[in-house]
Chains A and B, each alone.
Chain A
Amino acid sequence: MADQIILRNVTKIFTTKTLGDITAVDNFNINVHEGECFSFLGPSGCGKSTTLRMIAGFEDLTAGEIELCGKLVSSSEKKLYVPPEERGLGMVFQAFAVWPHMTVFDNVAFPLAIKKVNKVDIKKRVAEALKHTSLSGLEDVYPGELSGGQQQRIALARAIVTNPKVMLLDEPLSNLDPKLRETMRFEIKSLQKKFGFTIIFVTHDQSEAMAISDRMMVCDMGKIMQIDTPENLYNHPNSRFVHNFLGESTFIKVEVKGGKVYPEGSNQALDIEIPKGVQGKMVIATRPNEIELTTPSAGGFKTHIEKRIFLTDRTEYLVPVGNQMVKIQTPHRVRYNAQDECYVKFIMPIWYPEDDEKTEAERNKRQLI
């Protein structure tokens, strides 16, 4: 597959009056393949939206260049910026951005009218776009009278009506209620299948990104943390941040002494294989369904059940390990009561150095830009 969107060493620095220079996007290198659904995932202030806006042409670059469909569209070095209207993109925004002073038809027809397409063709193509987005019959209605889901469909119809090769979606589902969000996700995927466009999907919702993407980029505080398929990211997160951001995580502070692993505040060793060269204070990461409750003979860590919580499809136990509380999720058939003695075993935990988290202050500062 050919690379359709290429970002080379893209950097964006904002200069603010109160906080000085802030690097919103730090040396991003991304290749998005043709026909792929590629997500930018990260907490707010991570640089994902800024990156998208640079691809769209709304922001210039402090350094680096962007190539779209084999054509250079942004380059800080050459001071070349193709204006957004000439990039031939489709885009859908979080707040729908349907024009309240135009009817549904006029909203969707706008991109064609700007291109001076003749009236007969406009009518035909708008009708088709409306059909694909289940909006037929609403041509003469003003968007203000429609629901959020319908408004977002107008935005989708308007984006696909020109049949663009690349579709930029900026948190398009986050203003919708959860049920609708899922439906729209399927609709976007089926539209992609039909028209074959490449999607860049920006979101802070990890489950949404997991469900929709072929590949995704996780970023934090202006840096790319990892780019991979959803499955690989979940199973092999290369940093504590990615581990924590995707799915539910449990981190346990441990100390490796004399070939044994001791959880903080305990003299009892954990039965875990120690990777080569690991020594001193570390953190092991695991997930609530990757911790087993076992019998003494299986060689687990001896402790007790602190609390049992019944969840509809599984049971959750809170179990102290050293001075830390660990969450374990099991099927209902594994049954313990509070204060019961139990043994826990960690399945393939991942090791991280002790201090991996950035300071809270730095994070807050970035929220302001």
Chain B
Amino acid sequence: MKLFNKDDSMAVLDGKKRFNLDKALTITTFILLLIIVIIPVFMIIFNTFFVKATTGHWAFDVSMFKTQLSEPKNLSAMWNTVKIAILTTIVGTIAGVFYAWLLGRSDIPAKGLMKALFNIPYMFPPFLGAMAWDMLLNGRGGYFNKFLMRVFQLESAPININSIWGIVFVEVSYYFPFVFMQVVAALEKMDPTLEECARIAGAKQSTVIWRITLPLTKPAISAGALLILTTSLAHFGVPSIIGYSQGIYTLPTRIYAVIYNAGGSFEGIRQGASLSVLLVAVVSLALIIQNKILSSGSFDIIKGKSTRPTLIKLRGAKYPLLVICIVTLIIIVVVPLVMIVLVSFLKAYGLPLKLENFTFAQYKRVFKGGGTIDSIKNSLFASITAGVVCMLLGTLVAYVVQKIKPKNKGALEFMSMLPYAIPGTVLSIGVILAWQGAVFGINLYNTIWIIIVAYLARYLSFSMKTSSAALLQVSSSLEEAARACGASHTESLADITLPLIRPAMVSGFFLIFLPAMREVTTSILLYGPKTRTLGVQIYGLRDAGMIPQAAALATVAIGIIIVLNTLVNYIVKDRKGV
């Protein structure tokens, strides 16, 4: 009788618990997303169009927006943003497709190695590359420019990186892997009989590439191009380092300048907010256009048994093309890296790159003040915290959307993906507006937490995507089987579902941790005197003219990135084996 009672009460409890657990999870998700994502975005729009009148009431007011729109500097910044983004997208896409085809479909030698090398730019912070190129090709005294002037007896610098095209060049060299990786993956998965069929039908190899291969990889190409476009529109580092000296502004650098010049006053932040609205409008427009293009062609090209794709023989062009690949790799990977390392050893910036001018002093100087160590600690703390919280929160959102499926799961999904379309600079302003005491009564300004909150908003969609994909693979029958074996809802969740998606959660963590570790766009607007991040510290040193010190710290940062990446690859590989 006792036993029966126990069973009975358990069944009731379980039934009740299930109802509660699902509901609790859904409500928690909504509240968290509201706080982390929606309120900052809302605050930007609100502060742009509403003003607190002297009476204490908020009044609708478009004057700020109008002033900003009629300011020629802002308009030219907008025009530059669009121009740079479009040029970067076009050149980056062409380069990405070209190298993807070469490494995915031709018989060029050393493919595996080159594929790995072509992915390197993807993990490097572009603003470090911009620093290196500025050292080399600065219009006033870049090392390479000086060299060319000496050799060819020129009056002025032959190449000026401090131009729109210079910015485009640096951005392309870091963003073309977006297209490259997507297209290589598509080419590798593509059913080779689709191409063979066209050969049998009488088409020459070149015809097959134009009429079959390229159209079939169009979805991958557009997806990569979209990523380049939105990233470039929102990008801060490269235009700020390369464009600043020539007064070339983009919207993100303009927003930074406005806020920086205002010294953190509310008026400055409001100006920044209205510029942000402008930037969001531009990005949204780009997204809409791309969406139209993307939706026109998406199809399944992975079918059938996987035979080896027929590699196209390059014959006479093989070695010239190999040389082009190697030169490209040297230019985009080796040259900037070597330059930064060399400059980090210089006694003073501008001295010739000779052994007698080299010293370790810059490294000592960088680490002397303690500010650098603090910045590394800050970056590690902020990235790890953001990574862990995003991993958990992203999985929570994914679980609610994929498994609980509440009525308004579309809204949930939209909320979590929203920051994806919002530039980091803009998000930072939203976070400032939301967390300096105005909304929650909590002032996080000048603390590391405001940076973490911004990271959460910015990177949440990353972990949510990976966890979603993993959860989709976990058939609900697995959890049901656990229930049938007597596990409660909570137990089946903890013992079945979570262990199955754990690898995805771990890779979701690294997907956030690594970019957060090297980012500068978000933290540049949020750092306080004691909360500089690694990126901000390098940027600050350079801004203060201490270029060799900046280079020294950049070398250290690159070292950290390489170590972390190797570690990640090792861990991820290990996981796959299990």
Contact = CB atoms under 8 A, between A and B. Distances in A.
Contacts of A96: 303-304
B202 A111 contact: yes
A93 B193 contact: yes
Contact of B196 (A93, A158, A175): A93
Contacts of A49: 307
A114 interface: yes
B201 A111 contact: yes
Interface string B95-128: 0000000000000000000000000000000000
A94 interface: yes
Contacts of A97: 191, 193-194, 196-197, 303-304
Contacts of A321: none
Interface in A101-127: 101, 110-111, 114-115
B363 to A, nearest CB: 44
A89 interface: yes
Contacts of B304: 93-97, 175
B200 A56 contact: yes
Interface in B203-227: 203-205, 207, 211-212, 215-216, 218
A48 to B, nearest CB: 13
A90 interface: yes
A158 B201 contact: yes
Most chain B CB neighbours (cut-off 10 Å) among A83, A97, A111: A97
B299 interface: yes
Nearest to B310: A58
B573 interface: no
Contacts of B200: 56, 84-85, 87, 89-91, 159, 168
Contacts of A162: 201-202
A94 B303 CA distance: 10
B301 interface: yes
A86 B299 CA distance: 30
Contacts of B297: 101
A85 B211 CA distance: 15
A144 interface: yes
Contacts of B202: 85-86, 111, 114-115, 162
B178 to A, nearest CB: 22
B300 interface: yes
B305 interface: yes
Contacts of B216: 99-101
Contacts of A111: 201-202
Nearest to B305: A94
Interface string A321-338: 000000000000000000
B90 interface: no
B318 interface: no
B199 interface: yes
Contact of A144 (B198, B299, B307): B299
A85 B197 contact: no
Contact of A93 (B197, B300, B301): B197
A331 B359 CA distance: 97
A149 to B, nearest CB: 15
Contacts of A56: 196, 200
Contact of B191 (A83, A95, A168): A95
B299 A101 contact: yes
Contacts of A114: 201-203, 207
How extensive is the interface on chain A, given as a class?
20 to 34
A47 to B, nearest CB: 14
Contacts of B191: 95, 97
Given A99-B194, A101-B218, A85 B299 contact: no
Nearest to B208: A85
B148 to A, nearest CB: 45
B437 to A, nearest CB: 55
B264 to A, nearest CB: 53
A155 B196 CA distance: 13
A95 B207 contact: no
Interface in B226-251: none
B218 A91 contact: no
A156 B2 CA distance: 72
B303 A95 contact: yes
A110 B198 contact: yes
Interface string A241-282: 000000000000000000000000000000000000000000
Interface in A52-78: 56-58
Contacts of A58: 196, 199, 310
Interface string B303-344: 111010010000000000000000000000000000000000
B70 to A, nearest CB: 46
Given A85-B204, A95-B191, A114-B207, A100 B199 contact: no
Nearest to A106: B211
Given A95-B303, A95-B304, A101 B215 contact: yes
Nearest to A84: B199
Interface in B47-97: none
A222 B149 CA distance: 66
Contacts of A87: 200
A95 B201 contact: no
A110 B203 CA distance: 9
A57 B310 CA distance: 11
Nearest to A86: B202
A159 B307 CA distance: 21
Contact of B305 (A83, A95, A155): A95
A286 B205 CA distance: 52
Nearest to B304: A95
A17 to B, nearest CB: 11
Most chain B CB neighbours (cut-off 10 Å) among A57, A58, A144, A159: A58
Nearest to B212: A99
Most chain B CB neighbours (cut-off 10 Å) among A56, A101, A144: A101
A120 B310 CA distance: 35
A115 B198 CA distance: 12
A158 B201 CA distance: 8
A91 B297 CA distance: 26
B199 to A, nearest CB: 4
Contact of A100 (B196, B197, B204, B299): B299
A58 B197 CA distance: 11
Contacts of A158: 197, 201
Contacts of B205: 83
A44 B100 CA distance: 32
B218 A83 contact: no
Contacts of A142: 299
Contacts of A100: 216, 299-301
Given A100-B299, A100-B300, A85 B196 contact: no
Most chain A CB neighbours (cut-off 10 Å) among B191, B197, B215: B197
Contacts of A168: 200
Contacts of B197: 91, 93, 97, 99, 155, 158
B232 to A, nearest CB: 28
Contact of B199 (A85, A90, A94, A159): A85
Contacts of B211: 110
A172 to B, nearest CB: 11
Interface in B438-458: none
Nearest to B204: A85
A83 B199 contact: yes
18 contacts: A83-B204, A85-B199, A87-B200, A91-B197, A94-B305, A96-B303, A96-B304, A97-B303, A99-B197, A99-B216, A100-B301, A101-B216, A114-B201, A114-B203, A142-B299, A144-B299, A155-B197, A158-B201
4 closest A-B pairs (Cβ-Cβ)?
Answer: A95-B304, A100-B299, A111-B201, A97-B193
Interface of B: 191, 193-194, 196-205, 207, 211-212, 215-216, 218, 297, 299-301, 303-305, 307, 310
Interface of A: 49, 56-58, 83-87, 89-91, 93-97, 99-101, 110-111, 114-115, 142, 144, 155, 158-159, 162, 168, 175
Given A93-B197, A99-B198, A114-B201, 9 more contacts: A85-B199, A91-B197, A95-B191, A97-B193, A99-B216, A101-B216, A110-B211, A111-B201, A168-B200
